[in-house]
């Protein structure tokens, strides 16, 4: 069963701490994404990557950075966590192939619920 695995389901951190959210996929997908989900706001794109060592800013990149050193792993970093970063973080991956091969269909991880105190 193909999967996107997020290392932590629940985290509690203090303001100012550095936070790493790890995401690993086993589908050999080129594309990986980080979204955050907040009540009433839906899913908003933070960062994405279409290749190793490549990253692009999404709609709300402020306060975040990412790292993609290997194809299967995409990490989201909060350099100095703040209370307004309390949220559910969702990692996803997809293939850029053909439509018939399922291109552009996101497979999501289970999410990481981060609370910043």
Partner 1 sequence: AQKVTQAQTEISVVEKEDVTLDCVYETRDTTYYLFWYKQPPSGELVFLIRRNSFDEQNEISGRYSWNFQKSTSSFNFTITASQVVDSAVYFCALSEAEDSGNTPLVFGKGTRLSVIA
- Applying CB under 8 A, the residues found at the interface with partner 1 are 33, 35, 40-45, 48, 50, 58, 88, 90, 92, 96, 99, 103-111
- Nearest CB to partner 1, comparing residues 16 and 96: 96
Beta carbon nearer to partner 1, 50 or 73? 50
Burial class (CB in 10 A: 0-12, 13-18, 19+), 16: exposed
Classify burial at 17, counting beta carbons within 10 Å of its beta carbon; exposed 0-12, middle 13-18, buried 19 or more.
Answer: middle
CB of 15 to partner 1, least distance (A): 25
Task: Give dist(CA 89, CA 8) in Å, integer.
Answer: 10
Q: Which is nearer to partner 1, 17 or 30 (CB)?
A: 30
Q: How far is the CB of 20 from partner 1 (least distance, A)?
A: 20
User: How many whole angstroms from its chain centre is CA 104?
Assistant: 16
């Amino acid at each position: 069963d193909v999967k996107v695995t997020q290392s932590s389901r629940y985290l509690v951190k203090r303001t100012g701490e550095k936070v790493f959210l790890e995401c690993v996929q086993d589908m050999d997908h080129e594309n990986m994404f980080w979204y955050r989900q907040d009540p009433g706001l839906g899913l908003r794109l933070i960062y994405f990557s279409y290749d190793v060592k490549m990253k692009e800013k999404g709609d709300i990149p402020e306060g975040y950075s990412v790292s993609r050193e290997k194809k299967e792993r995409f990490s989201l970093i909060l350099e100095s966590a703040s209370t307004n970063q309390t949220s559910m973080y969702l990692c996803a991956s997809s293939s850029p192939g053909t439509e018939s091969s399922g291109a552009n269909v996101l497979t999501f991880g289970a999410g990481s619920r981060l609370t910043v105190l």
